[in-house]
Amino acid sequence: MKKVSTAAAKQMRNFSEPKLTIGLDLGDRSSWYCVLDERGEVRREQKLGTTPKAMKEMFGAMPRSRIALETGMHSPWVSRALSELGHEVIVAHARNVRLIGESRKKDDRLDAQTLARLARIDPQLLSPVKHRSAKAQADLTVIRARAGLVRARTALVNTARGLAKSYGERLRGCNVRNMNPEKAEGLSPELQTALEPLLAAIESLSERIRECNQRDRRSGAGELSASGAAEAGKGCGHVNRADFPADAGRCASFSQEPGRGLLSGAATGTEKLRPERAADAHQQGRRSVSANFAGAGCASHSGPIWSRQ
């Protein structure tokens, strides 16, 4: 009798295991999931908390399954957690799944079931996307946090200047980095009293921004690994340290898609728009990119970050 090899036995065992497809509709506090068997019948529908502990307890006990979820606030960490448990995770592009996005019956249970059925038929119907790695997301979070500080400071500066002008007076100096309560000297007493909290907050925000700049310089571009540098060589054009390591993990995927760059990707499908609308959409993408890079303390780019192959 011929002995069955270990590999063949493992394949037969995997084939005999029930293949489950799960749709997971993520919510801020709680999420709803639906489990389908091989015949497309609902095996289980249940709600669970949107926490790492709840996800691990529920899906860690299940056999390897295909799990579909939509892009959203919690999808990056949830997709990584489910992948670590051994599941096949499909992250659907929320705007491209019309069956859910344009549905008039907004129900978490039905959305989870729809995700499961689409993933069971053909995952490409979900327009799957790939999230950044945890390290890249952490680096990008630092950049966005600083950009948030800059936006807050700009809003306070504009408020202080506007209030002063409404009195027929002006704040001394125009450099926002050096704006502090001393700039109110020479103004009317009542205006000094009103602007003192604003100017103190601006000074504090400027200090926090300087700390972010120093921390960013210390981390620097030296953290770019050899693998990141290899990915950077695959179709990447002009790159400086503002782009890495936050987007190094996604460079290869952009370079494999003709016509998509950091700016064109921000306005998907601009080639199908009329010239004036396409230009406006492209400019919106450029402003968004410039804001993020300005938040990193780096000069904006004159050309696309990712170029065609």
Mean pLDDT of each 10-residue bin along the chain, 309 residues long = 48 54 94 93 93 94 93 94 94 87 80 93 92 90 93 93 90 80 86 91 93 81 44 40 45 41 41 48 47 42 38
Q: How far is CA 240 from the centre of its chain?
A: 20
CB contact set of 182 (below 8 Å; sequence gap of 6+) = none
Please give the Cα distance from 49 to 43 (Å, whole number). Answer: 20
Please give the Cα distance from 25 to 283 (Å, whole number). Answer: 34
Specify the pLDDT at position 180: 84
Specify the pLDDT at position 115: 94
Q: Are 48 and 58 in contact (CB under 8 A)?
A: yes
Please give the Cα distance from 61 to 22 (Å, whole number). Answer: 14
Specify the pLDDT at position 256: 42
Q: Are 286 and 213 in contact (CB under 8 A)?
A: no
Specify the pLDDT at position 57: 93
Q: Are 228 and 300 in contact (CB under 8 A)?
A: no
User: Comparing C-alpha atoms, which of 147, 96, 139, 113 is closest to residue 43?
Assistant: 113
Specify the pLDDT at position 231: 42
Specify the pLDDT at position 112: 93
- For 290, the 3-state DSSP assignment is helix
Amino acid (1-letter code) at residue 190: E
Q: Are 128 and 93 in contact (CB under 8 A)?
A: yes
Specify the pLDDT at position 6: 57
Q: Are 127 and 92 in contact (CB under 8 A)?
A: yes
Specify the pLDDT at position 8: 43
Specify the pLDDT at position 19: 84
- For 43, the 3-state DSSP assignment is strand
CB contact set of 120 (below 8 Å; sequence gap of 6+) = 21, 36, 40, 66
207-237 pLDDT, tens digit per residue, is 999 998 988 887 764 454 434 444 444 443 3
Specify the pLDDT at position 241: 39
Specify the pLDDT at position 106: 76
Specify the pLDDT at position 238: 39
